Structure 1
Amino acid sequence: MKLNSEEQAILDGKSGTTMQKVMQTLLLYGQAVDATHMVTIEGEGHFSISGPFPGGDIPLYLLDELVDAGLRTKLPFTLNPKSPLDFENLGVTQAQKQEFKKMFRDETHYQRGMRKLGLRGRNDYTCSPYVFDGGNTPKRDMILAWSESSCVIYANSALGARTNRNAAIIDLLSNIIGKTPVFGLLIDEGRRANWRIDIETTELPNPQLLGTAIGKRVQDGIPYICGLDRFFTNQIDERARDYLKEMGATCAAIGAIGLYHIENVTPEALDQGRSLLLSDHRVHLINDSELQELVNSYPNMWDKQDSVPEKVMIGCPHLSLRELLEWTDRISGCLDKNGREKIAIDTVLVAPPQVLQLFREQHHAEHQKLQAAGARLSATCCEAYMTNRLCSSEAVLTNSSKLRAYTNARLVLDEQLVETIVTGNMQQSSNKTRLRNTKVKNPEEEYSENLLSKTQIPPTQVINIEKKVTTFHGRPLYPDNVSGKALVTRSGFNSLASFVDAMLNNSISAICSDHDSPDLYGRALTGSIFCIPKDENQLNVQD
């Protein structure tokens, strides 16, 4: 990767030792992704790690070194939601409260450091920074270095800005330098679609289901979506914005999609149409039947399958003001229909601090109505709430496929969810849990047995093959000879969902906790070599 004179001077240490380390890191990153050069970042940053998330945060020693060197990002940045420490808004028990305090004991230190590094404001913590006036809403073609997957996909797709799905820490370091390696979604060719997704549903599909279906099929590709324009105009109004936010967040969580195009709706599709499709693109049709099959396939990951729901979390990603008002109307209407004054299940609606302030100040009557019904409002992170082992053991419902993918929360669609919130009655799923016969390879992992007992994945097919050799061709980052057990997955590899339980349990080895991966779920990951075919037809079952 070529550096200009200014960049080379930083690499040579002329801006200090810490800045030199920052440039060295970005250079290695650029070389790993085969970038040719760097480009100047033009918009404010948005970073995924907003607090001392157990096992996944920026190490405090690194944070302190950057702060002590007097470094700041070239432009201000916003962060993902704060840690779940607003206990009165979450309805936590005393035991849960103490566990959270232990988990996030470095919160004050962390937040102080992020403010010194360039955090835009004390309330700029949300995974939906573009849903309110004055938020972090980049302009078309603006070069960014963002990380939060739901923000990346919205900025690229709905706004037409340009950012790759950068890793945590890389996002911060890029914005300190003020430059990012040029590759992938920053260049025109990298934004062309390799899938055409035809939507043939009778009505506008649920965004959570559609995002899941697209994510599973496309994985890390770029879809060009046809047929959704029946339900939208060519202007992205608040309704369309919220739909794209929800659908995109799910595409990014279930797959690894950083950009989608919607025919006659999103900016680049409006300008370029189907010329965005690569000549060898693949085609997939999504209809009502596929989406219903998807609903029926979701496993029940609760510790006790027949538990009574204890909590509902709504707002992953964070709700807009329009969505918050919509949920207020839904809950109020359902209460009236059932002759009730209070909801039956503890429910938390989660939104940006700025949206909650607008809700309180400009929609006072609705705010009072929602609180009178017993619902709670918070600006925290739903996923972070579920990282507390005492919270994840609860029977939690959600309407977010992203939260369902990363935790044991059960997905319930909006229409049924509001009935359950109000009445406490849970419609039973037609699915029955099927136990997997695979034996856990690492018996020292206490949590693995719990994982395996809840999966619906059928028994693994074992095939003995003599002298079978499969060769994967790629560009080595660090050439070496290694050996290990091959784990082949045809459904992509979701690193966060796969390792999150091991991270939270401080395990010495990892059992895959991604319950959306039929090939890897419940298997020992430590010491294995992941074989991930680029094309789902590249390997057959014998491989």
Structure 2
Amino acid sequence: MHVSSEDERLLKEGGYLAKALETVIKVGEAVKADRLLDVDTVHVSGVSYLTIGDAGLEFLRDISSSGARFRVFTTVNPAGVEYGNLNLPVNEAFIRRQMEIIDYLRRMGASLWLTCTPYEFIRPQPGSIHAWGESNAIAYINSVNDAYTEKLPGPFTIMIAIAGKVPRFGLYVEENRVPKVIVKVNARLTPVKAGLLGRITAGKLKGEVPFIDYDNWDKQLLKSFLASYATYSPTPLAVIKGINPNWRRYLSMVDKPDSITIDDAELRYEQPIEYDALFIGCPHASLEEVMSIVKVLEKHGYRRLAKPLIVSTSRFIKSTLSPELINKLKEANVYLITDTCPMVSPILQGLGIRSVATPSSKAIFYLPRLVNVNAMPCSIEDCLESELSNH
């Protein structure tokens, strides 16, 4: 692998920067990269104490204490608790260790966005180079912006943030981004069905990049589809007709593609009846998603829900809501949480919740595996309407 004279000089100087760069180079050699690329942004995943434990905490402590600092703009994924909120049902030892993790990241220069949807606030340019560790965000900027990033492990993104470089391999190479299979969608998508489409598409492929032929996308459908697709597929890129700014060029590069069709019958599901709570926010809920909930609750006079609704979102979205609205949501039995996610937090267990209904196929995959909470597909609006109408 080619290493520039500037990088050779940095390696000879030693210190934390040289160690990080050496790690990036060794990984690059292992994946047969031809050279290193300068990185525009980094997004670090794996920052919850629930998922990284004491080993991850010690890893971050060691790097931070070495004086290491991030060379590029770096954001971080949701943590295991809401930052600064001591009223959540989480034990003090967990909170203390989680705050320690966040502090080490802050010392190294991370922007503590604590969200899995950095693409809500960063608008990457086509062809720009990024090193992101959160699967839904990776799939989103690859597919919607045609920015370049691979699915990278959390600890490796730390090394990249320090070195400012990433190996050129996989989806950093244009020829690896060309679709191999055309997927025709004959259905009218909803957020739930878009998530099911992601899972089914991934299941029908063997890691190939698909070209998705469907016309009626909106932002919520894209989020749901791509979060699900990246959960079930090893390849976090789908070239989407009319969405990817270079979709026509990619389509012109396709050579004798396979073709499959997914129709509405494959996307059917039954609205659940028995569950402990409703959940939305995997990925973090956008302002539009939050307001769609508000619209239903407002229609029913903010009547208190018999079963709680958990909404996880970013602090940026919550900051746009008035204190009066936040209080109305709280009185209606809506938990509006920021900086964290039930997938990587003991919050649901602390609330005694063992099953949730959710529109997120990603949550349906991870909740049972990470926090032992059963999850089933539902339209939040339909579930809210049903509960409020029968209450």
Whether the TM-score (by the shorter chain) exceeds 0.5 is yes
Residues 129-185 of structure 1: CA deviation (Å, up to 9, x unaligned): 222xxx233222111111100111111111121111111111111121111000111
Matches within 5 A, 1:87-486: 92=89, 97-98=90-91, 101-120=92-111, 122=112, 124-131=113-120, 135-202=121-188, 206-226=193-213, 228-229=214-215, 231-232=216-217, 240-269=218-247, 271-272=248-249, 274-277=251-254, 279-292=255-268, 295=269, 308-333=274-299, 335=300, 341-360=303-322, 364=324, 366-379=325-338, 380-385=340-345, 394-408=354-368, 409-414=374-379, 415-419=381-385, 421-422=387-388
Of residues 59-68 and 242-251 in structure 1, the stretch that sits farther from structure 2 once superposed is 59-68
Mark the CA change 1:163 to 1:225 in structure 2 (over 3 Å): closer, same or farther: same
User: Which structure shows the bigger proportion of residues in strand conformation?
Assistant: 2
Query: Whose radius of gyration is greater, 1 or 2?
Result: 1
> Which letter does structure 1 place at the counterpart of 2:240?
I
Q: Output the CA distance in 1 between the equivalents of 2:212 and 2:236.
A: 14
Note the C-alpha offset of 1:57.
7.5
The answer to whether the Cα contact below 8 Å between 1:385 and 1:391 also exists between their aligned partners in 2 is: no
Mark the CA change 1:220 to 1:89 in structure 2 (over 3 Å): closer, same or farther: farther
The answer to whether the Cα contact below 8 Å between 1:332 and 1:370 also exists between their aligned partners in 2 is: no
SS of equivalent to 2:27: helix
Of residues 201-210 and 248-257 in structure 1, the stretch that sits farther from structure 2 once superposed is 201-210
Q: Output the CA distance in 2 between the equivalents of 1:87 and 1:395.
A: 27
Mark the CA change 1:323 to 1:50 in structure 2 (over 3 Å): closer, same or farther: same
Q: Output the CA distance in 1 between the equivalents of 2:7 and 2:390.
A: 60
The answer to whether the Cα contact below 8 Å between 1:359 and 1:367 also exists between their aligned partners in 2 is: yes
Q: Which runs of 5+ in 2 are unaligned?
A: 369-373
TM-score, normalised by the number of residues in structure 1: 0.65
Q: Output the CA distance in 2 between the equivalents of 1:88 and 1:54.
A: 20
SS of equivalent to 1:196: strand
Number of residue pairs aligned between Structure 1 and Structure 2: 383
Is 1:71–2:76 an aligned residue pair? no
Higher relative contact order (CA 8 A, sep 6+): 2
SS of equivalent to 1:72: coil
Note the C-alpha offset of 1:266.
1.8
Mark the CA change 1:329 to 1:107 in structure 2 (over 3 Å): closer, same or farther: same
Q: Which runs of 5+ in 1 are unaligned?
A: 233-239, 301-305, 426-543
The answer to whether the Cα contact below 8 Å between 1:159 and 1:267 also exists between their aligned partners in 2 is: yes
1:38 to 36, 39, 64: 36
The answer to whether the Cα contact below 8 Å between 2:178 and 2:250 also exists between their aligned partners in 1 is: no
Q: Output the CA distance in 2 between the equivalents of 1:81 and 1:180.
A: 23
Note the C-alpha offset of 1:390.
5.7
SS of equivalent to 1:39: strand
Q: Output the CA distance in 2 between the equivalents of 1:413 and 1:276.
A: 38
Is 1:9–2:5 an aligned residue pair? no
Matches within 5 A, 1:516-527: none
TM-score, normalised by the number of residues in structure 2: 0.88
Give % identity: 24
Q: Output the CA distance in 2 between the equivalents of 1:424 and 1:327.
A: 17
The answer to whether the Cα contact below 8 Å between 1:9 and 1:15 also exists between their aligned partners in 2 is: no
Partner in structure 2 of residue 29 of structure 1: 27
Q: Output the CA distance in 1 between the equivalents of 2:161 and 2:85.
A: 35
Residues 211-253 of structure 1: CA deviation (Å, up to 9, x unaligned): 1222222353211001x21x24xxxxxxx22321121111001
Note the C-alpha offset of 1:321.
0.7
The answer to whether the Cα contact below 8 Å between 2:51 and 2:344 also exists between their aligned partners in 1 is: no
Mark the CA change 1:422 to 1:216 in structure 2 (over 3 Å): closer, same or farther: farther
CA RMSD after TM alignment: 2.8
Q: Output the CA distance in 1 between the equivalents of 2:10 and 2:390.
A: 60
The answer to whether the Cα contact below 8 Å between 1:386 and 1:407 also exists between their aligned partners in 2 is: no
Residues 298-336 of structure 1: CA deviation (Å, up to 9, x unaligned): 9x9xxxxx9x52222210000111111011112333x36
Q: Output the CA distance in 2 between the equivalents of 1:141 and 1:82.
A: 30
The answer to whether the Cα contact below 8 Å between 2:277 and 2:353 also exists between their aligned partners in 1 is: no
Note the C-alpha offset of 1:420.
5.4
SS of equivalent to 2:37: strand
SS of equivalent to 1:316: strand
Mark the CA change 1:45 to 1:87 in structure 2 (over 3 Å): closer, same or farther: closer
The answer to whether the Cα contact below 8 Å between 2:277 and 2:355 also exists between their aligned partners in 1 is: yes
User: Which structure shows the bigger proportion of residues in helix conformation?
Assistant: 2
Of residues 251-260 and 368-377 in structure 1, the stretch that sits farther from structure 2 once superposed is 368-377
- Runs of 4+ with >6 A deviation: 86-91
Residues 322-363 of structure 1: CA deviation (Å, up to 9, x unaligned): 111011112333x36xxx8211101111111010000226xx
> Which letter does structure 1 place at the counterpart of 2:136?
S
The answer to whether the Cα contact below 8 Å between 1:49 and 1:58 also exists between their aligned partners in 2 is: no
Residues 258-313 of structure 1: CA deviation (Å, up to 9, x unaligned): 111111222121x4152143x24321111011112xx37x9x9xxxxx9x522222
SS of equivalent to 1:59: helix
Q: Output the CA distance in 2 between the equivalents of 1:280 and 1:405.
A: 33
Note the C-alpha offset of 1:65.
2.9
Mark the CA change 1:203 to 1:170 in structure 2 (over 3 Å): closer, same or farther: closer
The answer to whether the Cα contact below 8 Å between 2:130 and 2:149 also exists between their aligned partners in 1 is: yes
